[in-house]
Structure 1
């Protein structure tokens, strides 16, 4: 299936709204993307048309976006564009939504400090050990023996 992937650069126009729903965390905010152009007559940069998008984030991206974004911050959003049209109360209505895959601060306007987020809660889920991918399935005895021994110290090159 073909999807329209877009990368929109703009500013956070509304405070992100975070919700816990049955399918997991969800967040949404409005993104304002204003075109700018050089006005030769006035010899200044001028704002053009502003496009507004509703950005939707899910799961861990929703949690991180809600904790990281505030109104007015410059951001870059990548995701699937979804344009919907409808008729409400006799008026044609169109919305442009972005189902976000990635959201980040636009570092052309300032600095940002990355902090790794916590792991999602796994309460009640059994802990499973990682299989040893370097051995074949029929060498389970070798796998158990290698799991009992600590890893060798790495070599240091001088």
Structure 2
């Protein structure tokens, strides 16, 4: 598989926008990453230009992002990056970098988070097959 996998560490630049695509939920948000650089000339640290990425999370991850993330939160996003070009309403060609998120979480270098595990729906157990049932089934098969 020749995918471009990335891990972004940055800040949520927008609230999480949730929508439905068919019967699937997708959450979209922007992440801004501002690298720090050391200048030997001035012997000081400074911020480089902020790079913005659109992140899309699908299905259950989308719902968890919507419930957990707010604008300004520090996040770590891991996923597949792609570039997309389109023409906006003003007729200008725009290129964007998008990440299809495989995992998203708060950046715990920047603060504390509390995790709440979601309960999985309880599935009804499959009917058990006893030796009597198996014997009856074999008899029916051989009788037919």
Q: Which residue of 1 aligns with 2:104?
A: 103
Output the aligned Cα RMSD: 2.4
1:12-23 to 2 correspondences below 5 Å? 12-23=12-23
- Structure 1, unmatched stretches of 5+, are 133-139, 145-158
Q: Which residue of 1 aligns with 2:136?
A: none
Task: Go from structure 1 to structure 2 and tell me whether the alpha carbon gap of 1:103 and 1:92 turns closer, same or farther (over 3 Å shift).
Answer: same
Q: Which residue of 1 aligns with 2:125?
A: 129
Aligned pair count reads: 131
8 Å Cα contact 1:64-1:117 kept in structure 2: no
Give the Å deviation of 1:86.
Answer: 3.5
Stretch deviating more after TM superposition (17-26 or 109-118): 17-26
1:53-132 to 2 correspondences below 5 Å? 53-88=53-88, 91-119=92-120, 127-130=123-126
Stretch deviating more after TM superposition (15-24 or 55-64): 15-24
Give the Å deviation of 1:74.
Answer: 0.7
Give the Å deviation of 1:6.
Answer: 0.8
Equivalents in 2 of 1:95, 1:56: separation in Å? 13
- Structure 2, unmatched stretches of 5+, are 134-144
**Relative contact order: is structure 1 or structure 2 higher (C-alpha 8 Å, sep ≥ 6)?**
2
Equivalents in 1 of 2:102, 2:112: separation in Å? 22
Give the Å deviation of 1:131.
Answer: 7.8
Equivalents in 2 of 1:87, 1:63: separation in Å? 30
Aligned to 2:65, what secondary structure does the other structure show? Answer: helix
Aligned to 2:63, what secondary structure does the other structure show? Answer: helix
Equivalents in 1 of 2:79, 2:52: separation in Å? 15
Please, what TM-score do these two structures have when normalized by structure 2?
0.78
Please, what TM-score do these two structures have when normalized by structure 1?
0.72
8 Å Cα contact 1:8-1:76 kept in structure 2: yes
Q: Runs of at least 4 residues of structure 1 off by over 3 A?
A: 40-44, 86-92
